């Protein structure tokens, strides 16, 4: 008996997780945390000799890596995503995926990560790998 057809085309992976529903306010808080981490890590590696150039505005960060190209991070409020255009890995959208509660002296706090739902890649991991940044993978 022949095998049933694969419901997913070969070039499309099933989503690895579901995006967490966010209020506009929470989305902006999480983007701010992410962008602060990217900027802080970028400036840190500049202090240690990296020749990247970093520019930022309210919802866009551009990192120019000589010999590699420009990385552009953009906050997309309408879809509640962060978009990354990378000269190495291409353009991708990242959704917030919550992973539950982190407990500490200040009480419980949700934490999670910015994931590309098609590939399962983590935004921080991509930036760490491609640019040598040191961003924490989970945010809260």
Predicted confidence band at 26 (pLDDT cuts at 50, 70, 90)? Answer: very high
Q: Does domain 24-131 have CATH number 3.30.920.10?
A: yes
For residues 100 and 110, is the Cβ–Cβ distance under 8 A? yes
The pLDDT of residue 101 is: 56
Predicted confidence band at 140 (pLDDT cuts at 50, 70, 90)? Answer: low
Show the DSSP H helices in the chain as ranges: 24-47, 123-131
The pLDDT of residue 79 is: 97
The pLDDT of residue 16 is: 66
* Phi-psi domain of 95 (left: phi exceeds 0; alpha: psi -120 through 50; beta: other): beta
Instruction: Give percent of the chain above pLDDT 90.
Output: 72
Mean pLDDT of the chain: 85
Instruction: Answer with the residue of higher pLDDT: 13 or 73.
Output: 73
Instruction: Answer with the residue of higher pLDDT: 95 or 104.
Output: 95
The pLDDT of residue 48 is: 93
Neighbours of 1 (CB within 10 A): 3
Backbone phi, then psi, for 124, in 5-degree steps?
-60, -40
The pLDDT of residue 138 is: 75
For residues 84 and 94, is the Cβ–Cβ distance under 8 A? yes
**Contacts for 107 with CB less than 8 Å, ≥ 6 apart:** none
Domain ranges in the chain are: 24-131
CA torsion 93-82-130-100 (nearest 10°) is -100
pLDDT digits (tens, 9 = 90+) for 34-72: 999 999 999 999 999 999 999 999 899 999 999 999 999
**What gap in Å lies between CA 78 and CA 89, rounded to an integer?**
24
């Amino acid at each position: 008996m022949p095998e049933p057809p694969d419901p997913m085309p070969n070039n499309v992976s099933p989503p690895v997780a579901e995006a967490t529903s966010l209020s506009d306010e929470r989305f902006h808080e999480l983007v701010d945390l992410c962008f602060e981490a990217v900027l802080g890590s970028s400036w840190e590696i500049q202090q240690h000799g990296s020749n990247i150039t970093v520019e930022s505005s309210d919802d866009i960060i551009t990192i120019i890596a000589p010999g590699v190209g420009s990385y552009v991070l953009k906050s997309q409020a309408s879809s509640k995503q962060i978009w990354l255009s990378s000269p190495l890995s291409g353009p991708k959208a990242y959704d917030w995926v919550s992973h539950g509660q982190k407990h500490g002296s200040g009480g419980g706090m949700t934490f999670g990560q910015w994931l590309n739902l098609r590939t399962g890649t983590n935004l921080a991991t991509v930036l760490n790998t491609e640019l040598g940044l040191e961003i924490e993978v989970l945010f809260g």
